[in-house]
Amino acid sequence: MEIARTIAAAREQVAAARRAGRTVGFVPTMGFLHEGHLSLVSAARRETDFVAVSIFVNPTQFGPNEDYARYPRNEAADLEMCASAGVDLVFIPDVDAMYPAGEITTVHVDELTTTLCGPCRPGHFDGVTTVVTKLFNIVQPDRAYFGKKDYQQFVVLRRMARDLDMPIDVIGCPLVREPDGLAMSSRNALLTPDDRRRARSLHQALCAARDAIATGERNAVALVTAMHRVLERAAPEHIDYVSVADPDTLQGVPRIDGPVLLALAVRIGDTRLIDNMVVDPTGPPA
Ligand code: PAF
């Protein structure tokens, strides 16, 4: 496994793979890797010949009062996990390598970023789309893999690649859960034992809405109320949003008459957690 810390070194490694006729799969991450990331690497390994992972905690996607400084980091453990997962290249730039000139260019995706996490995290998605564009330009993969735990991020990046004619397949991979249902996230490491227990309420709330849909509930307000009720039992510090939305446009829907995205963002202790579930009332149970 090669480790590249500069853009030039990363480009060189990918170019060598390309010269050897290999297709390139890419898993962009912010490190502190877990089973969710490894499932993206496995998908990339199955579908492409050369797998690159980037590890970069991108400062531009964190707001001034968010958790950039306390975001968990463990490079040595990440490298071990990448090596055992069969990753070919790990790209670990530092902030100066990625933003040497205090860039003034950003990539903005409209509409899809005006809902769900968008209003709660001003500037967040511009930070994500800009850094992912830069990473795509550096690695130039054939396929890039993102977890659907960040469902909105996946939809935004898929649209960005399409609108900007990036020759990259943006693949969304299923969210991976802990045995008690908590969605895997690097931020889970920031939870105290009490927070961790209360964090189960996110998945429980989604399950309550899914079960209500299965027994015939079609009114979005009733579903939002049911999810709030479950969340509030865990006394969260703040509920940013609970939404029943169209899985493609991410806009709220009044009634369920096809596949629907149940999504929520909640602060437990000092940690903001998100979770979601796509439920199709006409299909098999989620
Ligand atoms: O999902 C993440 O880890 C980040 O938002 C990403 C896509 C690596 C961009 O920094």
Sheet holding 2-4, edge to edge: 2-4, 89-91, 50-55, 24-29, 143-147, 169-173
**pLDDT tens digits, one per residue of 40-80:** 999 999 999 999 999 999 999 999 999 999 999 999 999 99
Q: Is 30 in the pocket of ligand 1 (CB under 6 A)?
A: yes
Report the residue among 41, 61, 91, 153 best suited for mutation to probe ligand 1: largest number of ligand atoms under 8 A from its CB.
153
pLDDT digits (tens, 9 = 90+) for 269-280: 999 999 999 999
Counting residues of the chain whose pLDDT is more than 90, the rounded percentage is 97
Indicate which residues carry an active-site annotation.
37
24 lines ligand 1 (CB under 6 A): no
- Nearest-CA residue for ligand 1 atom 9 is 128
Whole-number pLDDT of residue 103: 85
How many whole angstroms from 175 Cα to the centroid of ligand 1? 14
pTM over 0.95: yes
Buried b (16+ CB within 10 A) or exposed e, 72-100: eeeeeebbebbeebebbbbbbbeeebbbe
pLDDT tens-digit profile of 222-242?
999 999 999 999 999 999 999
Q: Ligand 1 centre and the CA of 224: distance in Å?
A: 28
At 72-114, the pLDDT tens digits run: 999 999 999 999 999 999 999 999 999 998 889 999 999 999 9
Distance 229 CA to ligand 1 centre (A): 31
